[in-house]
Structure 1
Amino acid sequence: MTVEQRARVHAALADPHRLRIVDALFASDLSPAELGDRLGLASNLLAHHLRTLETAGVLTRHRSSGDRRRTYLTLAASALTDLTPVDSGLDRGAVTRVVFVCTANTARSQLAASLWTLASPVPATSAGTHPADRIAPGALDVARRHGMPLEQARPRSLDQLDQPVTDTDYLVTVCDHAHEELALDRTRPADAHWSVPDPVAADTPAAFDVAYDDLAGRVAHLSPRLIPGLEPAS
């Protein structure tokens, strides 16, 4: 990054509202509506700050693969290599486990749970809102190519987990469909959302590599910030 690019990033962050936006996006992708509700910002003021951050390359946005109407904002971590957020929203303290959720539980959530197991002492598992019959061959292939086993043999639903999801778990949606579905379920919305494009839709090795790299980077980002809590009740 050149001195001029660094100056643009620092200038973009020189506002309390924009720093709060960065902090909110540190652990979770959010739609503008979700971000506005969380920060209590009017839509016109939020739009102004988002444009400033996008122009500086601090965040990106893309269309939801769920309802196709909303967009999700993603923090460009590479633009903030030397900056540490004051409040990333990770105020949960110790957690029992991390639960990764996508729709079919055939690729992204499976890969995320396996990556997490290699990176953190906090237990991890995965589930789907509408599980398919088997893990996607592309997910098995990318895991093999990276020397990473997929522990779970078969997709399953949240209701089929060995232990029910509780408030001591940290729930991460890695699929826009799952995030939007769980957002309607006020009993247990996700703690964080990672808007990762579905590699099964393209079904190419390159698509699975992109998803793997995206998930690996996010796991590396989050894993040092969650610590093990009590073991789940048997």
Structure 2
Amino acid sequence: MSSLSLELRVARYAALADPARLRVVALLTLGDLSPQDLGERMGVASNLLSHHLKVLETAGLIERRRSEGDGRRGYVRLIPEALPAEARDAEVSAHRVVFVCTANSARSQLAEHLWRSRTSVAAASAGTLPADGVAPGAIAVAAAHGLDLSAAVPKTLDEVARTDDLRITVCDRARESLASTDLHWSIPDPVRLGTPRAFEAAFDEISHRIDALLPHVRAA
């Protein structure tokens, strides 16, 4: 083991050796939150929360992203693979998972089909403002990974939603337009750039997010 990796491990354990920072990790284990959401749930002042987030960020345990919807907002994301195994304690039950984005044309469709390929827990997807069809780039990247989106059709959330769904927004605009949601994943919109690389990056991040969430999901 290199001295650098040892130093990084020490920094990560030191970052977690604080009840408030452990609480931040617990809150972010399943999805992303804005600093304002974190502060409200923890009941701490913004300057103290900022200090804790800086420590976790320096240790490589979290990262921040500016919202693609309301540019004044940002989201904090946990980096699960950087956490010691004993810090990954969380559980959620689900009858069905519903992935939501604005157009239901790329991220939420990819998430639905990836989820279905990896677990027997049911899944669906929907949009707050559905597009006319699924983005060709999403169909192409799915096909490259053995998933068939050719028959997928964008749907409204009202068409799809049930009261017992575990709802995951994968789009900042959708998250900010809904009164409530269970979990949020702040994933950049590949349609905005429209390149194969952008769709591949979205696919990879969704894949990693699902892999990180699945061990915590219990079928209701």
When normalised by structure 2's length, the TM-score is 0.94
Deviations 1:208-233 (A, max 9, x none): 1110010001111112322323xxxx
**Which amino acid is 2:40 matched to?**
D
Shift of 1:76: 1.5
Give the aligned partner of residue 136 of structure 2: 137
Q: Distance in 2 between matches of 1:178 and 1:152?
A: 23
Q: How well do the aligned residues superpose, as a CA RMSD in angstroms?
A: 1.4
Q: Secondary structure at the match of 1:2?
A: helix
Q: Distance in 2 between matches of 1:109 and 1:81?
A: 29
Where do 1:1-234 residues align within 5 Å? 2-86=5-89, 88=90, 90=91, 92-93=92-93, 95-150=94-149, 153-161=152-160, 164-166=161-163, 168-182=164-178, 185=179, 189-229=180-220
Moved runs in structure 1, 4+ residues, more than 3 A?
81-84
Indicate conservation of the 8 Å contact 1:116/1:124, yes or no.
Answer: yes
Q: Distance in 2 between matches of 1:75 and 1:171?
A: 19
Shift of 1:42: 1.3
Indicate conservation of the 8 Å contact 2:104/2:154, yes or no.
Answer: yes
Indicate conservation of the 8 Å contact 1:109/1:127, yes or no.
Answer: yes
**Which amino acid is 1:165 matched to?**
R
Q: Distance in 1 between matches of 2:10 and 2:51?
A: 19
Shift of 1:151: 7.3
**Which amino acid is 1:176 matched to?**
D
When normalised by structure 1's length, the TM-score is 0.89
Deviations 1:174-214 (A, max 9, x none): 000000111xx2xxx11100000000001011111110010
Shift of 1:118: 1.0
Q: Whose helix fraction is larger, Structure 1's or Structure 2's?
A: 2
Runs of at least 5 residues in structure 1 that lack an aligned partner in the other structure: 230-234
Shift of 1:133: 0.1
Q: Structure 1 residues 122 and 44 mapped into 2: Cα distance closer, same or farther (>3 Å)?
A: same
Indicate conservation of the 8 Å contact 1:114/1:151, yes or no.
Answer: no
Shift of 1:150: 2.4
Q: Distance in 2 between matches of 1:149 and 1:39?
A: 42
Deviations 1:66-108 (A, max 9, x none): 111111101112211534334x3x4x43x22000000000000
Give aligned pairs, total: 217
Q: Structure 1 residues 81 and 202 mapped into 2: Cα distance closer, same or farther (>3 Å)?
A: farther
Indicate conservation of the 8 Å contact 1:158/1:165, yes or no.
Answer: no
